[in-house]
Amino acid sequence: MSLLEARDLGRVLPGDPPATLVTGANLAIEPGSFTTIVGPSGCGKSSMLYLLGLIDRPTSGAVLLDGEDVGRLDGDARARIRLERFGFVFQFHFLLPEFSALENVMLPMRRLGRLGIAAAEARGRALLADAGLAGKEDKTPDRLSGGERQRVAIARALANDPALILGDEPTGNLDSHNSVRVVETFRALAHDQGRAVVCVTHDLSIAAAADVRISMLDGRVVGVEQGGSRMADPTRP
């Protein structure tokens, strides 16, 4: 049994004519693996990620988490699973502007409610230190660089110790140095911490660093390539 599976997954938006975002998709995501979803603009990569991450609901097929079909649960049940099991990193950081870095990282822990405030603060500080942001805990997002903001967003994604990290163009807004750093972090989250990392990307350095590359075209999965996980580092010749 895989950690996360799509079975004959589809998403059609009603309309005249209806819009098919994803159709007949089958794939499996394993712990400890770094997977990218690649393909031309508009082929359905983000739609697929939103289905896998229980943000959107399929219109056909199933999303299985630990073998259980969770894709069509109601919004509250999917939100609870997202909070417990998934961490999300988007192209834009979506940090709350009026909150400090530390408060942003603590928010998912406070929402989940398993940790008291002191324990959540200690974990938040540790996650920020791991991200190289010790000393920046009290800064609001507007006082941080783009790379630092994305590292806060990754720390926030890890707040509730998720088994799955899903990224939608997480380096899309970063320069090459910060992109490489994010890719290294994602690889470590998969290989050293045993999480499953799934990333939609146009970024060739991310795709080259992945263990598995899923190719999409016109809403379909058209290829699954298991690759060596050699890191492509654009800063080196």
Ligand X SMILES: Nc1ncnc2c1ncn2[C@@H]1O[C@H](COP(=O)(O)OP(=O)(O)OP(=O)(O)O)[C@@H](O)[C@H]1O
* Selected binder of ligand X within 23, 35, 47, 150 (CB under 6 A): 47
Kindly report the backbone phi and psi dihedral angles of residue 113, in degrees, each rounded to the nearest multiple of 5, phi listed first.
80, 15
* Selected binder of ligand X within 1, 16, 17, 41 (CB under 6 A): 41
- Give the nearer residue to ligand X in terms of CB position, either 37 or 109: 37
Identity of the residue numbered 128: L
- Give the nearer residue to ligand X in terms of CB position, either 41 or 235: 41
Q: The dihedral of CA 127, 132, 137, 143: what is its sign?
A: negative
Judged by CB under 6 A, the stretch of 44-52, 70-78, 117-125, 226-234 that binds ligand X is 44-52
Kindly report the backbone phi and psi dihedral angles of residue 140, in degrees, each rounded to the nearest multiple of 5, phi listed first.
-80, 160
- Give the nearer residue to ligand X in terms of CB position, either 199 or 209: 199
43 is a contact residue toward ligand X (CB under 6 A): yes
Q: In 174-234, where does DSSP find H-type helix?
A: 176-191, 204-209
- 87's enclosing H/E stretch is strand 86-90
Distance in Å, CB of 218 to ligand X, minimum: 9
Distance in Å, CB of 86 to ligand X, minimum: 18
Q: Considering only residues 2-31, where is the footprint of ligand X by CB under 6 A? A: 13, 19, 21
* Selected binder of ligand X within 9, 36, 45, 180 (CB under 6 A): 45
Judged by CB under 6 A, the stretch of 45-53, 106-114, 127-135, 174-182 that binds ligand X is 45-53
- Asked if 58 and 51 count as a contact pair (C-beta separation under 8 A), the reply is yes
For residues 152 and 136, give the distance between their C-alpha atoms in angstroms, rounded to a whole number: 10
Burial of 139 (0-12, 13-18, 19+ CB in 10 A): middle
Judged by CB under 6 A, the stretch of 41-49, 92-100, 134-142, 181-189 that binds ligand X is 41-49
Identify the residue whose tokens are 């909070």: 83
Instruction: List contacts with ligand X (CB under 6 A).
Output: 13, 19, 21, 39, 41-47
